Amino acid sequence: MLNQLILPVLWSILFPLGVAIYHKGTGNPAPHPGPHYLLPPIHEVIHSRRGATVTLPCVLGTPPPSYKVRWSKVEPGELRETLILITNGHHTRGYGPLGDRARMRRGHRLDASLVITSVALEDEGRYRCELINGLEDESLALTLRLEGVVFPYQPSQGRYQFNYYEAKKACAEQDGRLATYPQLYQAWTEGLDWCNAGWLLEGSVRYPVLTARPPCGGRGRPGIRSYGPRDKQHDHYDAFCFTSALQGHVFFVPGSLTLAEASGACARRGAVVAKVGHLYAAWKFSGLDRCDGGWLADGSVRFPITTPRPRCGGLPDPGVRSFGFPSPEQPAYGTYCYAET
């Protein structure tokens, strides 16, 4: 009985809720709980969109006599961190794939916040700001989350054709990246219901079910079904891709075109045939709503519906409808084009 009372008290003292700050003591322990130098962030999740400039806050309450601040990104599904930059308060050295897009904000002498310009899809994730002073290192963790849309993807050959690496490549070719589990979960809460299992960025395989039914995971509760971790090289599934706001815009060109003619029609207008990710992003962020099927760059024919209505897809919910992959020589559809702004 005594143990049952003591353990919750110790837990609440040692692990206060809601503060993502870590101490790595190399000398005597700090005389008080909580951060010694780093101030806890007001928000631990920072929201942004592709193409924007975002600031990840990291502020010192008081500086130690000498120190360095190290920013890194925790890679999902991989037990490693990618170094972004190191600063001693006077000089900064950048590393890694962010390159010149990452810099220190330097709003004041205690400001160690990281600024990322031209935010890209692969920038989403968990970041760590670590203060190193040789005595008692501290770090805080922040999550950069992009507003976006998840879409299931399979090639013209049919379902379950991708191993993990092929799924990753397929999403990139459609202006996306493999979705994370939190992104798939968010999409499920917004109405994504899909019976085919697909790869996620962490290497797991899942599918979201809103309406439980026998051919789709049985009659259990709605939720996200999991196949768990799979063999990335040998197992084959579909892909769940994620994309965010566009730098350009999508528009429709009517006609009865083959796929080759669709490419020419877009080129004459200073554009290219849109990718699947382009169409989903235009539907999600620009409210693109059209009943006309149009060619996309992968050879599929789709159309976006914001306001469902009779004889316009036949389904009660908004979404991007698909006619599959008709013969590219079939002159039966218009095309969706994408042009940079």
Report pLDDT digits (tens) over 46-83. 999 999 999 999 999 987 888 899 999 987 665 678 99
List the domains of the chain with CATH numbers. Answer: 38-146 (2.60.40.10), 148-243 (3.10.100.10), 245-340 (3.10.100.10)
Question: What's the pLDDT at 33?
Answer: 47
pLDDT of 175 above 60? yes
* C-alpha torsion angle, residues 52, 56, 45, 201 (rounded to 10): 70
Can you tell me whether residue 12 is helix, strand or coil?
Answer: helix
Question: What's the pLDDT at 76?
Answer: 67
Burial 190-202 (b: 16+ CB within 10 A, else e): eebbbeebbbbbe
Higher pLDDT, 260 or 100: 260
Provide the phi-psi class of 314: left if phi over 0, else alpha when psi is between -120 and 50, else beta: left
Q: Which pTM value belongs to this model? A: 0.82
Q: How large a percentage of the chain has pLDDT more than 90?
A: 71
Can you tell me whether residue 249 is helix, strand or coil?
Answer: strand
Identify the burial level of 286 via C-beta atoms within 10 angstroms of its C-beta, where 0-12 means exposed, 13-18 middle and 19 or more buried.
Answer: middle
pLDDT tens-digit profile of 187-236?
Answer: 999 999 999 999 999 999 999 999 888 888 777 789 999 997 899 999 99
pLDDT of 90 above 90? no
Mean pLDDT in the chain? 87
